[in-house]
């Protein structure tokens, strides 16, 4: 059997262990410490956000962002349907109701058209949304210019889920810095990883200061344990932050490698009309976290996404259908949805290909050949 080709596996740069060793040598084996402060500085410098809080996960960052915007039971939050469940689950943690918005075809992200439809209808029912969560899925920038123009009309704050989009920019501005708050993830399969972790970024210092406070059990300033708020244990540890500092040193290389993967696949399937990719719009720069293909079985002699997925699995190549939209998930079956079936169709026809920055050209060729064997 050929060796396994993973969808997106961790790729250390070499310096991570030095930061972790320093934490051991100085006995900062604790939550918080110099590596946490250092990673926050690195993230601020890289994204251009004025403030960053390193947290235990991207999910906890979304949860704290909702709390910062005052989202509570009975509120409505608009969320991109085509995403990972972690974008939407924190809405439920707060007892609020998610309202799901379909994708548009250019970027696969939140449709500005259905976003505005939903806002107008909810306002007419006296259910004005408290927040909006667009996502930069697979690292492809959403249409933030249009989205920000719409929310400005109705004065609704934005939490940008940039968990998959560290290194992506739109008109030179980092994904995650368009909204009031931005969310990053360093989970094991993301473009860089701390084995697990995330961050909340914002230009609003108060949001970040209060998030750090809530993320460390909301301890009031007193010699004893005194609490005036419900707290959370959401801070990143100084050990994992050390991995993060090492990873930040190679982030630009990782983006370049993932973009190389995308170009490699695109060139390989240039002659195949039934295989298509999501392109960058003018002004957009995608980190190409995962390269995804759409399979149009009308143009592949009937060969479907599933035919390809199963063939790759047999070749010991990990691949995955695109995210199943939230409005089709059993847990969110009752949530309102605005759209026309775009995300549903992407889910039906789409496949994520192996996209790790540690893949060799030999690996990429193995993937391409296995797919061509199905198509030819």
* 79 touches ligand PLP by CB under 6 A: no
**CA nearest 73: which of 94, 48, 99, 98?**
94
Nearer to ligand PLP (CB atom), residue 198 or residue 246: 198
State which of positions 108-137 bind ligand PLP (CB under 6 A): 135
Nearer to ligand PLP (CB atom), residue 315 or residue 318: 318
* 59 touches ligand PLP by CB under 6 A: yes
* 160 touches ligand PLP by CB under 6 A: no
Which residues lie below 8 Å from residue 223, measured CB to CB, with a gap of 6+? none
Question: Two tokens at 146?
Answer: 């249009």
* 163 touches ligand PLP by CB under 6 A: yes
Beta carbons of 2 and 366 less than 8 angstroms apart: yes
CA distance 134 to 119: 14
- Indicate which single residue of 164, 344, 349, 363 sits in contact with ligand PLP (rule: CB under 6 A): 164
- Indicate which single residue of 8, 35, 47, 87 sits in contact with ligand PLP (rule: CB under 6 A): 87
Query: Rounded to the nearest whole angstrom, what is the least distance from the CB of residue 319 to ligand PLP in the complex?
Result: 17
Task: Give the three-class secondary structure for 72.
Answer: coil
* 102 touches ligand PLP by CB under 6 A: no
DSSP class of 169: E
Backbone phi, then psi, for 204, in 5-degree steps? -90, 105
CA distance 187 to 175: 18
Beta carbons of 248 and 242 less than 8 angstroms apart: no
Specify the residue for token string 């109705």.
Answer: 154
Query: Rounded to the nearest whole angstrom, what is the least distance from the CB of residue 58 to ligand PLP in the complex?
Result: 3
The interface region with ligand PLP, picked from 140-148, 158-166, 202-210, 309-317 by CB under 6 A, is 158-166
Query: Rounded to the nearest whole angstrom, what is the least distance from the CB of residue 161 to ligand PLP in the complex?
Result: 5
Query: Rounded to the nearest whole angstrom, what is the least distance from the CB of residue 16 to ligand PLP in the complex?
Result: 18
* 58 touches ligand PLP by CB under 6 A: yes
Binding letters toward ligand PLP, positions 195-234, x by CB under 6 A: ---x------------------------------------
* Residue 223: C-alpha distances to residues 219, 226, 227, 230 (Å): 10, 8, 12, 18
- Indicate which single residue of 16, 104, 160, 161 sits in contact with ligand PLP (rule: CB under 6 A): 161
192 CB-contact burial (10 Å; exposed 0-12 / middle 13-18 / buried 19+): buried
* 185 touches ligand PLP by CB under 6 A: yes
Which residues lie below 8 Å from residue 339, measured CB to CB, with a gap of 6+? 81, 100, 101, 102, 103, 111, 114, 327
- Indicate which single residue of 8, 81, 83, 202 sits in contact with ligand PLP (rule: CB under 6 A): 83
- Indicate which single residue of 84, 232, 262, 285 sits in contact with ligand PLP (rule: CB under 6 A): 84
CB closest to ligand PLP, residue no? 58
Nearer to ligand PLP (CB atom), residue 201 or residue 370: 201
Q: What angle do the packed helices 112-124 and 144-154 form, to 10 degrees?
A: 10
Question: Two tokens at 164?
Answer: 């998959």
131 pairs with which residues across the strands? Answer: 77
Beta carbons of 86 and 65 less than 8 angstroms apart: no
Query: Rounded to the nearest whole angstrom, what is the least distance from the CB of residue 352 to ligand PLP in the complex?
Result: 11
Query: Rounded to the nearest whole angstrom, what is the least distance from the CB of residue 298 to ligand PLP in the complex?
Result: 30
- Half-sphere CA count of 21, side-chain side, radius 13 A: 6
Task: Please report, as ranges, the residues that interact with ligand PLP according to CB under 6 A.
Answer: 57-59, 83-84, 86-87, 135, 161, 163-164, 185, 187, 198
């Amino acid at each position: 059997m050929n060796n396994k080709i993973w969808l997106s596996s961790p790729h250390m740069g070499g310096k991570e262990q030095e930061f972790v060793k320093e934490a051991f040598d100085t006995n900062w084996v604790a939550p918080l410490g110099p590596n946490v402060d250092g990673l926050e500085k690195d993230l601020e410098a890289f994204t251009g956000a004025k403030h960053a809080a390193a947290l235990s996960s991207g999910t906890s960052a979304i949860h704290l962002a909702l709390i910062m915007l005052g989202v509570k039971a009975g509120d409505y939050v608009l969320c991109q349907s085509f995403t990972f469940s972690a974008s939407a689950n924190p809405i439920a943690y707060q007892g609020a109701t998610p309202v799901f918005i379909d994708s548009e075809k250019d970027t696969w992200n939140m449709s500005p058209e259905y976003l505005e439809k939903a806002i107008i209808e909810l306002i007419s029912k006296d259910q004005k949304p408290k927040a909006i969560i667009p996502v930069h899925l697979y690292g492809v920038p959403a249409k933030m210019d249009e989205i920000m123009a719409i929310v400005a009309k109705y004065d609704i704050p934005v939490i940008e889920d940039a968990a998959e989009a560290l290194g992506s920019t739109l008109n030179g501005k980092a994904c995650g810095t368009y909204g009031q708050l931005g969310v990053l993830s360093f989970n094991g399969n993301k473009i860089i990883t701390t084995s697990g972790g995330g961050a909340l970024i914002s230009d609003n210092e108060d949001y970040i200061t209060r998030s750090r406070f809530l993320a460390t059990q909301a301890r009031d300033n007193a010699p004893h344990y005194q609490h005036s708020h419900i707290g959370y244990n959401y801070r990143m540890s100084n050990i994992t932050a050390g991995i993060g500092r090492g990873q930040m040193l190679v982030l630009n290389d990782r983006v370049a490698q993932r973009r190389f993967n995308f170009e490699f696949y695109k060139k390989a399937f240039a002659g195949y009309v039934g295989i298509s990719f999501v392109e960058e719009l003018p002004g957009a720069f995608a980190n190409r976290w995962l390269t995804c293909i759409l399979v149009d079985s009308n143009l592949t002699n009937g060969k479907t996404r599933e035919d390809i997925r199963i063939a790759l699995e047999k070749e010991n190549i990990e691949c995955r259908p695109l995210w199943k939209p939230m409005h089709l998930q059993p847990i969110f079956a009752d949530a309102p949805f605005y759209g026309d079936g775009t995300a549903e169709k992407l889910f039906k026809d789409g496949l994520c290909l192996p996209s790790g920055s540690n893949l060799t050209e030999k690996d990429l060729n193995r993937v391409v050949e296995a797919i061509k064997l199905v198509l030819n």
